[in-house]
């Protein structure tokens, strides 16, 4: 009887041992797949510019942000990055912002024109895209892949000989960014 109990215990232990090993050797393969598409995006919020009379040119009929034309203006900027591909940057003509009465009145002056540029330098000397009222086709430049690149934006408005009156002026220049 004792031999029978020992034999039963040995059989039970071997069954449990084999069962435990069998469960411990199970595995599950969990597959992962994915596609990384080119990411082109703004790397930071745009920085606004400042327009002022073109005092370095001795003009009173031109508002500008370009440092070579005014000591009181400043270029706006935005930083853009493409991870692998490129993107087209399109600059559009400045539009009055927020119903500003001075800007709206200025637009009705005979000979009024406006335009905008994208520069690849903060001095506003190397324009890579330009657009004007008389050239309604938006200008395009290409953002290159790799590290973030800062682009600088200028705008101007002029009245062809009519002095621009004192007041507050506000415009927005829209840059369209389209991945290639």
Looking at residue 74, which CATH number applies to its domain?
2.60.40
Give the model's pLDDT for residue 153: 94
pTM of the model: 0.73
Q: Answer yes or no: are the C-beta atoms of 179 and 143 closer than 8 Å.
A: no
Residue 151 is assigned to a structural domain of this protein: yes
| Distance in angstroms (rounded) separating the CA atoms of residues 162 and 180 | 43
- Cross-strand pairs, 176: 90
Q: Calculate the dihedral angle through the C-alpha atoms of 143, 146, 147, 149, rounding to the nearest 10 degrees.
A: -10
Residue 144 is assigned to a structural domain of this protein: yes
What is the separation, in whole angstroms, between the first and last Cα of the chain? 85
Query: How many domains, in total, are found in the chain?
Result: 1
Residue 79 pLDDT greater than 60, yes or no: yes
- Residue-range definition of the domain harbouring residue 62: 40-179
3-state secondary structure 33-52: CCCCCCCEEECCCCECCECE
Residue 21 is assigned to a structural domain of this protein: no
Calculate the average pLDDT of the chain.
79
In this prediction, residues 116-141 reach a mean pLDDT of: 79
Give the model's pLDDT for residue 8: 60
Residue 6 pLDDT greater than 60, yes or no: no
Token pair in block for residue 45: 């919020």
Residue 99 is assigned to a structural domain of this protein: yes
Kindly report, residue by residue over 25-68, the tens digit of the pLDDT. 888 888 888 877 667 778 778 999 999 999 877 788 889 999 88
Give the model's pLDDT for residue 105: 79
Token pair in block for residue 177: 């960014």
Residue 109 pLDDT greater than 90, yes or no: no
Residue 57 is assigned to a structural domain of this protein: yes
Give the phi and the psi of residue 146 in degrees, each rounded to 5.
115, -135
Residue 171 is assigned to a structural domain of this protein: yes
Residue 35 is assigned to a structural domain of this protein: no
Strands 175-179 and 127-132: unpaired
∠ CA 163-66-117, nearest 5°, is 105
Residue 143 pLDDT greater than 60, yes or no: yes
Residue 132 is assigned to a structural domain of this protein: yes
């Amino acid at each position: 009887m004792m031999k029978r109990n020992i034999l039963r215990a040995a059989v039970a232990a071997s069954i449990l041992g084999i069962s435990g090993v069998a469960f411990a050797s199970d595995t599950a393969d969990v597959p992962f797949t994915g596609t990384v598409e080119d990411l082109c995006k703004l790397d930071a919020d745009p920085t606004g510019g400042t327009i002022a009379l073109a005092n370095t040119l001795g003009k009173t009929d031109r508002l500008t942000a370009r440092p070579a034309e005014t000591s009181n203006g400043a270029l706006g900027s935005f930083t853009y990055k493409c991870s692998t591909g490129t993107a087209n940057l399109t600059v559009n003509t400045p539009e009055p912002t927020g119903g500003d009465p001075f800007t709206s009145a200025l637009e009705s002056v005979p000979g009024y024109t406006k335009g905008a540029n994208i520069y690849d330098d903060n001095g506003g000397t190397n324009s890579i895209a330009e657009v004007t009222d008389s050239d309604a086709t938006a200008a395009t430049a290409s953002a290159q892949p790799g590290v973030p690149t800062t682009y600088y934006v200028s705008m101007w408005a002029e009245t062809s000989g009519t002095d621009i009156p004192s007041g507050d002026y506000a415009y927005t220049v829209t840059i369209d960014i389209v991945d290639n």
